[in-house]
Amino acid sequence: MDFPRKVAVAALSASALALTAACGSGATGSGGDVTIGLAVSTLNNPYFVELKQGAEEAAAELGVKLTVVDAQNDATNQVNQVQTFATQGLKAIIINPVDSKQATPAAKAAENAGIPLVAVDRSVDEGKVVSEVASDNVQGGSLAAIELGRATSGEVVHLQGIPGASASRDRGRGFEQGLNSGGIKVVASQPADFDRAKGLDVMTNLLQANASIKGVFADNDEMALGAIKALGDKAGTQVQVVGFDGTPDGLKAVEDGTMTATIAQQPKVLGRKAVEQAVKAAKGEAVQQVVDVEVKVVTKKNLAEFKK
């Protein structure tokens, strides 16, 4: 399986491991004073709300305290939040980077404080992490191209996520790899930052220059839903749309027929597994360096398997 993610796994010093083991020994039961920080890229997106919920459920079951901060898609703000975490005596930190490259100072702050760092959903380009919990976004991008190629042929556009996010890069890379599976050709690619409103605006502009497009791939469901609004009656009829994430709104669009398919991730599972690894790291136990969570294509045919 192709893994383009750069996972820099820290070999923590013996002293640091001893410290985290001592501090994290109460990570089960009542949890004692064990607190883990979760720095989320944004909570203005139902996908990351679900990731947070999964993390909170795992923390409650494991008896640890989880402190959650929202970077509101501001990479500088997120670095500041993690730097603050590093001064608060937390036993582990989980980061869902706004920007994988710009998360490096955050990783350095955790390293300098001797606090194990877990990356979830997106990688940290340069920095020490003890575990990376993520979907195989390259595979997901390839599956999206294959599904779009099955649904239509001709010119398509690609709505990209935040340019610096590993998920954007990996989904785009996978999409390019899967293009040879059908008769579709990308005529325009433009970021819409994983945002529904921006997806609407970008799609509206792209339609003016590409009126004959037959398909859209969006790096997440939010942008896909914005594109669907811009397309109006064309969505699902003249223009096929494929999203990514499998959010409740995305699944509803698949049910309605305005979205051809979405590549479903499991955000609650991602959040849960990130906390599980963070607690192990806090206790000085062995962690799984790479945790992959499966992605699946959702269409009307198998929609019932994913509806909650």
- pLDDT confidence bin for 308, thresholds 50/70/90: low
Query: H-helix or E-strand containing 148?
Result: helix 137-151
- The reported pLDDT for the residue numbered 182 is 78
Q: What is the DSSP string of 9-72?
A: B----HHHHHHHHHHTTT-STT-TT-EEEEEES-SSSHHHHHHHHHHHHHHHHHT-EEEEEE-T
Q: Is the pLDDT confidence value at 123 over 80?
A: yes
* Domain range annotation of the chain: 14-136+266-294, 137-265+299-305
Distance in Å from the first CA to the final CA of the chain: 30
Q: For residue 24, give the amino acid letter.
A: G
Give the containing element (helix H, strand E) for 126. none
> How far is the C-alpha of 17 from the C-alpha of 21, rounded, in Å?
6
Q: What own/partner pairs with CB < 8 Å and gap ≥ 24 does 283-287 have?
A: 283/20, 283/21, 283/24, 283/25, 283/27, 284/17, 284/18, 284/20, 284/21, 284/22, 284/24, 285/21, 287/116, 287/118, 287/130, 287/131
- Strands 184-191 vs 240-245: parallel, antiparallel or unpaired: unpaired
In tens, the pLDDT along 259-301 reads 999 999 999 999 999 999 999 999 999 999 999 998 999 999 9
pLDDT of residue 33: 76
pTM (predicted TM-score): 0.79
Length of the chain: 308
What class, spelled out in words, does domain 14-136+266-294 have in CATH? alpha beta
Asked if 14-136+266-294 and 137-265+299-305 have one fold, the answer is yes
Give me the pLDDT at residue 27, please.
35
Secondary structure class of 144 (helix, strand, coil): helix
Whether residue 9 has pLDDT greater than 60: no
State the Cα–Cα distance between residues 123 and 132, nearest whole angstrom: 7
88 pLDDT tier (thresholds 50, 70, 90): very high
Distance, in Å, from the CA atom of 92 to the CA atom of 112, rounded to the nearest integer, reads 13
Q: Are strands 131-135 and 117-120 parallel, antiparallel or unpaired?
A: parallel
Cα angle: 129, vertex 134, 135; to 5 degrees: 160
Quote the tokens at residue 176. 């390019």
Q: Between 26 and 294, whose confidence is greater?
A: 294
Nearest-CA neighbor of 272 among 17, 56, 8? 56
Residue 180's pLDDT is: 83
Write down the CATH superfamily of domain 137-265+299-305: Response regulator (3.40.50.2300)
